Each structure stands twice: as structure tokens, then as C-alpha cells.
């Protein structure tokens, strides 16, 4: 970790780091080997059981420099089947990761069901490193810990086991180890002047790290802070704590009890009024009548897109709406007004096997836009509280949890990337849908657009109607409100979406 800027720091009690459990005596090699053998065998068996039970596991290894993260990690891996885990060594982000939200590179590395992801250093080292560069970090630290806690809770709610270790050594011990390394010809190059700078600011970092540990020591992802002065002791502790956590997860799973009680349902923020009409004076307008407005918007769209690109601000545009409400045509018109080098349209279809074996948000986060780019989602993560809810593709607990998860994810994206998000609901009446379905069936060029599934969905109009109301009410947050586009007339609807996008971007750029 880098040397911190020397400014205001919390003067905490260092509750986490002052109460580290230490061994009474050093553990000699013979005792260690005797004790570790059955633990290793047990971990191998647990790995297999977790695989069969489809439980994903996240292990976080953190600690002071020279506390032995690499060695301890290697000791844990030693007893695992290499085909069932992935080790992620977290260093500086690559240029592709740098242009994404902070947690993006960790989201894409979350394990599939039944696999173990081990992070040797993690979002904690990256967050601490980022925060320590700042003169005053109280506020942003709070934002970070909330984002991290949300991330870990979401994984845990989805069935993942999360075990976090912090390897603690005293300043003097760190000094001894640095000096020992300097005398080892194979390791001397590791001990850079920058590392000595970090050593010198040990006391300054102490309350910062402690603060982080304390605020993220949650029930779903607890910390195990260990005295790593005696490496044998630390490794044994890691094994014991890891196995206890994994055994507990297996017991819960086999008991078929829900992993946790459902969260209290997120309160409705405000009802959002839907209206299918969209023209000021109740009049429709034709393509020709709309053309002048469209021409003006096209120029404006190119202008604001260029500014977003130059200022490296990402933008997400979500399209949801009734079947036949005109999402496709609307997206086509919007996209036509943009520079094709700077946007992607992401179609959302039913999840495949790989996607199902991850948290449902995983596949969407993967497609989040990089800095300066625009991602247009044709249907989205809201499928969870619409089609998946109505068709019972997920449990009630799962879709109810989703409102909160979605709000958190959207807020984290906006805060950590500085980007924008626009969410469109395309509204039409039931009668208009029927008219369009029939029109599509009559038109040989449009027949492919209409399937039996569309008719089946239509039968459940009322159920969908209720789900839409609830979605709009619970996820129309201040930071990511919904915009209802009355789409009974398609041309005015198109104009309104593009108008909304340009005006939103102008606000964002201010």
C-alpha cells in the first residue's frame, strides 16, 4: 500500500487490530505438520462436497506487506483440486479495468456455483490504496464500505460463502522481514524504497485499515484477523476458520432451510404514473411531421455523445416495455443518431447455463460501458422482477430481494464511475398491443416478430401490470429514475426518448 497523504485520519481505537488472537507459544514444524495433515485432507473433501452442492466460495487474503499472503495462499491451495478453484492475484488494474466502475473487475471474477475463487489481495487493498492517496477520505470511505458490503451481501444472499482473512504483523516484525528479504539475493529486489516508505507510515495506516475491517466485518462476510508473526499458527487458523465456514454452509444447504430470512421488502419509493398517450394535444403525428424535430435531435445527439466521449463519462440506457411496445424501432432510431464507435446494443435473452451458474447480475455487470461509451440494454436486469417473477423462473425471495440489489448496483455504478443511467418504460394499452400483434401476423415481413409466447404473455397482462407498477415504484430512485414513454403513437414516442437522452446528457455534462 502506498504512503498516505498526511492529513486528517480517524483516531479510532483500532478495535480489530488491537484484539488479534496470538498464539501462546510458537508452533514448531513437527507439531504443525501433525496438525495440518488432517486439515488438508478435510479441505479436499469439503471442496468436493461444495462442488456437488453447487455452492460458490470466495476467499479473501489480505494483510500487511510481508505478512505472508503469498505463502499462506499457497498453503491453502496445496490441498485443493486445481480444477475446482481459480486464484486471482490482484495488482494494478489493466487499462480495460481502469475505465470501468471500481467493483467491475471483481464482479467479473466472482465464482460459478461449485467453484472457489481465491483473491490474493482484493477490493480491500485496492480501496485502501485509493483512499490513502486522498487528503480527506471520511466521506468517500463511507461510500466504498457501503458498496463493498452490498457487493458481498448480494453474493452471500445468492448462496456464496465468503471468508476473509487479514494477516496482521507488528511494525517491528515487518521491519525484520524487510531486512531479512534484503539479505536474500532472490528477494532483495522486492524491497523497494517505496516499500520502506509504506513501512514508515505503518502507524498512519493502522487506524485506516482498522476502520475498513470494522466497517466490513459483516455476518455474511466476516473477517478473521490473525497474528501472522508465527506463520504456522496463521496457516492453521486459516484452515480451521475456512473449514468451519464451509461446513456451516453445507449444513445449511443440506438442511434445506433458507440460507437467511427474506429481507424486509424495500418500501415503495413513489408510485410512477403510466400513460400510453404521448402527444401534447392528444393528437398523433406522422413521420413527416416529426422529421424536423428528428433532424434537430440527431445533431444534438451527436454533439452530446461527443462530449461524453471526450469527458470519459459512461452512459447506460435501459429499455423495458410491453411486448410490441416498440423497443426495437425506438432503439434503432436512437442508435442511428449516434457515432457507432461509441455505443453497444446489448440484447437480453433467456440466460444460458453459464449465466445461470452466476449471480443474476453478473452477466449485466460484465456488459457495463467503459468510460465515454454508451451501453443500450434491450431488456435488462429488470427481467428478474418482471418475466422471472410472473413466470416463476425464480423464487419469491429472489425477486423481492432484487429491488434492493438493483438499486444498490445502479447507485454504485453511478457513484464509482461518475456515469449516467436512463431507464425507459415503453407503455401501450392492451388494445393497442392486440392491434399490433394482429398487424404483425398479417405482414409477411413482420411475422417473425410475433410468437406463441407473445400471446401467452398477453394472457397474463394483469400479472405483468402489477409487476410493472411495483417495479416502477420500488426502483425509481433519485439517482436512477424511470421515464415512462407513452408509446401508443410510435413517432412521438421516438422523439420523446431521444429528447430525454439528449436533455439528460446535457444535465450530466453540466
Stretch that binds its own copies, among 142-150, 267-275, 344-352, 431-439 (CB under 8 A): 344-352
Give, as ranges, the residues between 348 and 377 that touch its own copies (CB under 8 A). Answer: 352-354, 376
Within residues 415-454, the interface with its own copies by CB under 8 A covers 445, 448
Q: How far is C-alpha 430 from the chain's CA centre? A: 36
- For residues 256 and 240, give the distance between their C-alpha atoms in angstroms, rounded to a whole number: 25
Does residue number 255 form part of the binding site for its own copies (CB under 8 A)? no
How many chain residues interact with its own copies (CB under 8 A)? 37
With binding defined as CB under 8 A, does residue 87 bind its own copies? yes
If binding is defined by CB under 8 A, does position 5 make contact with its own copies?
Answer: no
Cβ-based nearer residue to its own copies, 367 or 395: 367
- Ramachandran angles phi, psi of 444, nearest 5°: -60, -25
Q: How far is the CB of 95 from its own copies (least distance, A)?
A: 5
Place of cell 452512459: 315
Applying the rule CB under 8 A, the residues between 300 and 339 that interact with its own copies are 328, 331-332, 335-336, 339
By the rule CB under 8 A, 243 interacts with its own copies: no
CB count within 10 Å of CB 27 equals 18
In the region spanning residues 103 to 142, those forming contacts with its own copies, defined by CB under 8 A, are 120
Site string for its own copies, 378-417 (x = CB under 8 A): x---------------------------------------
Nearest distance from residue 484's CB to its own copies, in Å? 22
Give the DSSP H or E segment for 449: none
Q: Is 261 in the site for its own copies (CB under 8 A)?
A: no
Distances in Å between the Cα of 243 and the Cα atoms of 247, 251, 434 are 6, 12, 58
* Least Cβ distance, residue 23 to its own copies (angstroms): 26
Our finding on whether 459 is near its own copies (CB under 8 A) is no
CA nearest neighbour of 99 among 509, 410, 419: 419
Distance CA 500, CA 166 (A): 48
Closest by Cα among 202, 453, 418 to 313: 418
For residue 146, what are the contacts with CB-CB under 8 A and spacing of at least 6? none
Q: Is 192 in the site for its own copies (CB under 8 A)?
A: no
- Dig out the grid coordinates for 46 from the structure: 469439503
Q: Which of 321, 315, 305 is nearest to 482 (CA)?
A: 321
User: CA 88, CA 77: separation in Å to the nearest integer?
Assistant: 12
Q: Which residues contribute to the site for its own copies (CB under 8 A)?
A: 45, 48, 52, 70, 73-74, 77-78, 81-84, 86-87, 89, 94-96, 120, 328, 331-332, 335-336, 339-341, 344-345, 347, 352-354, 376, 378, 445, 448
Amino acid at each position: 500500500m502506498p504512503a498516505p497523504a498526511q492529513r486528517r485520519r480517524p483516531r479510532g481505537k483500532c478495535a480489530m487490530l488491537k484484539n488479534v488472537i496470538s498464539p501462546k507459544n510458537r508452533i514448531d514444524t513437527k507439531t504443525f505438520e501433525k496438525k495440518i495433515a488432517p486439515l488438508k485432507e478435510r479441505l479436499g473433501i469439503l471442496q468436493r462436497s461444495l462442488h456437488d452442492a453447487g455452492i460458490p466460495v470466495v476467499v479473501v487474503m489480505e494483510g500487511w506487506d510481508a505478512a505472508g499472503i503469498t505463502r499462506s495462499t499457497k498453503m491453502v491451495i496445496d490441498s485443493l483440486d486445481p480444477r475446482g478453484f481459480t486464484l486471482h492475484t490482484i495488482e494494478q488494474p489493466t487499462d480495460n479495468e481502469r475505465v470501468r466502475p471500481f467493483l467491475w473487475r471483481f464482479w467479473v471474477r466472482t465464482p460459478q456455483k461449485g467453484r472457489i475463487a481465491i483473491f490474493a489481495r482484493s477490493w480491500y487493498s485496492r480501496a485502501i490504496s485509493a483512499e490513502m492517496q486522498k487528503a480527506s477520505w471520511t466521506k468517500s470511505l463511507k461510500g466504498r464500505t457501503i458498496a463493498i458490503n452490498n457487493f458481498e451481501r448480494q453474493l452471500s444472499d445468492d448462496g456464496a460463502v465468503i471468508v476473509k482473512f487479514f494477516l496482521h504483523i507488528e511494525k517491528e516484525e515487518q521491519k525484520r522481514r524487510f531486512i531479512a528479504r534484503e539479505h536474500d539475493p532472490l528477494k532483495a529486489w522486492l524491497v523497494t524504497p517505496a516499500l520502506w516508505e509504506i513501512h514508515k507510515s505503518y502507524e498512519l495506516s493502522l487506524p485506516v485499515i482498522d476502520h475498513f475491517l470494522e466497517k466490513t466485518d459483516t455476518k455474511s462476510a466476516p473477517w478473521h484477523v490473525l497474528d501472522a508473526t508465527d506463520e504456522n499458527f496463521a496457516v492453521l487458523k486459516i484452515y480451521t476458520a475456512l473449514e468451519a465456514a464451509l461446513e456451516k454452509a453445507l449444513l445449511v444447504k443440506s438442511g434445506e432451510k433458507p440460507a437467511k430470512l427474506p429481507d424486509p421488502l424495500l418500501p415503495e419509493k413513489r408510485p410512477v404514473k403510466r400513460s400510453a398517450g404521448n402527444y401534447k394535444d392528444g393528437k398523433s403525428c406522422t413521420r413527416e411531421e416529426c422529421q424536423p424535430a428528428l433532424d434537430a435531435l440527431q445533431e444534438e445527439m451527436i454533439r452530446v455523445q461527443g462530449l461524453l466521449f471526450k469527458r470519459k463519462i459512461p452512459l447506460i440506457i435501459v429499455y423495458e416495455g410491453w411486448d410490441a411496445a416498440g423497443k426495437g424501432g425506438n432503439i434503432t432510431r436512437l442508435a442511428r443518431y449516434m457515432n457507432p464507435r461509441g455505443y453497444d446494443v446489448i440484447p437480453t435473452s433467456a440466460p444460458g447455463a453459464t449465466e445461470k451458474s452466476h449471480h443474476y447480475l453478473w452477466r449485466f455487470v460484465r456488459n457495463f460501458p467503459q468510460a465515454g461509451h454508451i451501453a443500450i440494454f434491450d431488456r435488462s436486469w429488470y427481467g428478474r422482477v418482471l418475466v422471472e417473477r410472473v413466470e416463476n423462473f425464480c423464487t419469491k425471495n429472489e425477486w423481492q430481494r432484487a429491488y434492493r440489489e438493483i438499486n444498490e448496483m445502479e447507485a454504485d455504478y453511478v457513484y464509482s464511475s461518475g456515469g449516467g443511467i436512463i431507464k425507459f418504460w415503453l407503455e401501450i394499452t392492451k388494445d393497442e398491443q392486440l392491434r399490433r400483434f394482429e398487424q404483425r401476423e398479417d405482414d409477411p415481413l413482420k411475422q417473425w416478430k410475433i410468437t406463441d409466447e407473445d400471446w401467452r404473455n398477453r394472457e397474463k397482462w394483469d400479472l405483468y401490470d402489477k409487476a410493472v407498477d411495483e417495479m416502477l415504484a420500488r426502483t425509481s430512485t433519485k439517482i436512477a429514475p424511470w421515464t415512462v414513454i407513452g408509446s401508443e403513437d410510435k413517432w412521438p414516442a421516438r422523439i420523446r426518448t431521444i429528447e430525454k437522452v439528449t436533455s439528460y446528457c446535457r444535465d450530466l455534462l453540466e
